Amino acid sequence: MSSNPVFPDRQLTFSPELAATIGLEEAILLQGIGNRVSAHDSRWHSLVISALERDFPFWDRQKLMALLQRLADLGVLTLVPGQDGNSVRIAGSYSEDTNLSVTRETIKSEPEAWQPTPEVIELLQMNHGIDAAFSIAQLASFDGTGHDTDRDTRFRQHVLAAWRRRQSEHNAFKIDKPKSFDRHWQPSADAMDIMLRDGISTQFIELARPEFILYWTERGGPPNEVNSRFIGWIRQRWSRHTGGIEHSTEPTRLAQNWQPDPAVWEMLAMAGIDRNFGEGLLNEFILYWVDSNEMQTSWNSKFLQWVKSQWRRQQRGPHNGADQTGGGSGGGRTKDSSIADDLSDTSWV
């Protein structure tokens, strides 16, 4: 152990002359590399980045890769990225004191190679999970000419393109297309669970499903992420559906001259229900609720839901041999029962 506790046992050494020529950090790293390879040897050597991180714990991987690239740009060594992302291959001529044949004049005569800012490397790692070593390795194929203001942006796009090409080579990143997409197609159980947790009714999803199928069928087939597209499509229409009808915070009685909001007819049209059908039921609806003297917070919703229930009954046809009766231009009710029975039936809500 060291006799003086102030000074550690393991110390870093470097050449002051070399530091004045290529920079202090570059000289320190070059000395560390020289300690790991044989002197007087110009053959290729493999350097493990994690080993360098242990030798220089005050530098992270991003900093080490930037310094290695800087040494390569200065012509001190030749740098080739390894296959595993945790190593690089280098070639250079080393002397015992690691003072390479690099002079201040040769350094000044060569333009300084462009390097991406640390913020770009960090952004690629945080937003896309791209390792810093992978990003730095793309400098070899990047055209660094041009204005400084847009080189960071172009480099980020260059790295992203390379990363996507790498992903496309692995089956784990591929999304299989749906096996079948016809009128029987149904969203996945996970997609249904997400929409139901958003408060969207199963009935609304089922009514909107055929339109979604038709839309993508006419465009040659569904997208790869069909369930995600369906969720977004349903959310958009559900927002229009719930936001398009006014709701009062206080219940009111129905007026004799009451008329549905225009949004009601739009909602019915989205469900494939003809406006004439709804208008044919309006007078009967008003008569019943005016006589009942009951109060509701939203007569628009009440009317919308009732028209939908009558439409479904008409589509199913007469029940138990009952004859279909006329009820106005909309086709009337589809079974011989009183409006009180229909309006008090909550099975369709």
Q: Give me the number of domains the chain comprises.
A: 3
Q: Tell me what pLDDT residue 231 has.
A: 92
With 60 as the cut, is the pLDDT of residue 116 above it?
A: yes
| 258 pLDDT more than 50 | yes
Q: pLDDT of 306-319, one tens digit each?
A: 898 888 888 876 55
pLDDT at 92: 65
- Asked if 124 and 203 sit in the same domain, the reply is no
Per-residue confidence (pLDDT) for residue 130, from 0 to 100: 86
Higher pLDDT, 132 or 348: 132
> Which range has highest mean pLDDT (19-33, 76-90, 183-197)?
183-197
Is 80 contained in some domain? yes
* Structure tokens, 317: 């046809």
181 located within any domain: no
Q: How confident is the model at residue 121 (pLDDT cuts 50, 70, 90)?
A: confident
Average pLDDT on 122-126 reads 83
Q: Is the pLDDT of residue 168 over 80?
A: no
pLDDT band at residue 346 under the 50/70/90 scheme: very low
Mean of all residue pLDDT scores within the chain:
74
Residues 28 and 161 in one domain: yes
Token digits of residue 254: 């129905």
In a shared domain, residues 260 and 204: no
Least confident of 79-88, 106-115, 195-204, 205-214: 106-115
Q: How many angstroms separate the Cα of 300 from the Cα of each of 171, 266, 281, 316, 325?
A: 51, 12, 14, 25, 25
Mean pLDDT of all residues in 76-90 = 74
What's residue 192's pLDDT? 92
The verdict on residue 29 lying in a domain is yes
Query: Between residues 39 and 200, which one has the greater pLDDT?
Result: 200
Confidence of residue 106 (pLDDT cuts 50, 70, 90): very low
Residue predicted with more confidence, 296 or 39? 296
Does the pLDDT at position 287 exceed 70?
yes
Which of 116, 135, 168 is the last residue before a domain boundary? 168
pTM of the model: 0.29
321-328 long-range contacts (CB < 8 A, ≥24 apart) are 327/280, 327/281, 327/284, 328/279, 328/280, 328/281, 328/283, 328/284
Q: Which of 48-52, 104-108, 160-164 has the highest mean pLDDT?
A: 160-164
- Co-location of 232 and 260 in the same domain: no
In this structure, what token pair is assigned to residue 124? 């690629």
Q: What is the pLDDT of residues 209-257, one digit of tens each?
A: 888 888 888 888 888 888 988 999 898 888 777 765 555 567 888 888 9
Give the model's confidence band at 94: pLDDT under 50 very low, under 70 low, under 90 confident, else very high: very low
Residue 182 lies in a domain: no
**Which contacts qualify for 248-253: CB closer than 8 Å, 24 or more apart?**
248/297, 248/298, 249/297, 250/297, 251/295, 251/296, 251/297, 252/295, 252/296, 252/297, 252/299, 253/290, 253/293, 253/294, 253/295
| Claim to verify: residue 208 and residue 272 sit in the same structural domain | no
Task: Please report, as a single letter, which amino acid is at residue 252.
Answer: T
Domain that holds residue 120: 16-168
- Establish if 1 belongs to a structural domain: no
Q: Which of 36-40, 128-132, 299-303 is predicted least confidently?
A: 36-40
Q: CA–CA separation, 22 vs 76, rounded Å?
A: 9
Please give the Cα distance from 136 to 63 (Å, whole number).
10
pLDDT of the residue at 138: 86
Alpha-carbon span 338 to 248, nearest angstrom: 29
pLDDT of residue 330: 45
List C-alpha distances in Å: 104 to 33, 74, 109, 169: 21, 11, 9, 45
Q: How confident is the model at residue 295 (pLDDT cuts 50, 70, 90)?
A: confident
- Same domain as 258, residue 237: no
Structure tokens at 314: 């008409």
Q: Is the pLDDT of residue 134 over 70?
A: yes
One domain for residues 207 and 272:
no
Confidence band of 109 (pLDDT split at 50, 70, 90): very low
Same domain, 119 and 53: yes
Contact call for residues 63 and 28 (beta carbons, < 8 A):
no
Residue 187's CB is within 10 A of a number of other CB atoms, namely: 20
Does 265 lie in the same domain as 238?
no
Is 199 part of a structural domain of the chain?
yes
Tell me what pLDDT residue 95 has: 42
Whether residues 193 and 60 fall in one domain = no
Do 153 and 202 sit in the same domain of this protein? no
238 and 260: one domain? no
Percent of all residues in the chain with a pLDDT value above 70, rounded to a whole number: 71
Q: Are 90 and 47 in contact (CB under 8 A)?
A: yes
Tell me, yes or no, whether 175 lies in a domain. no
Q: Is position 9 within any domain?
A: no
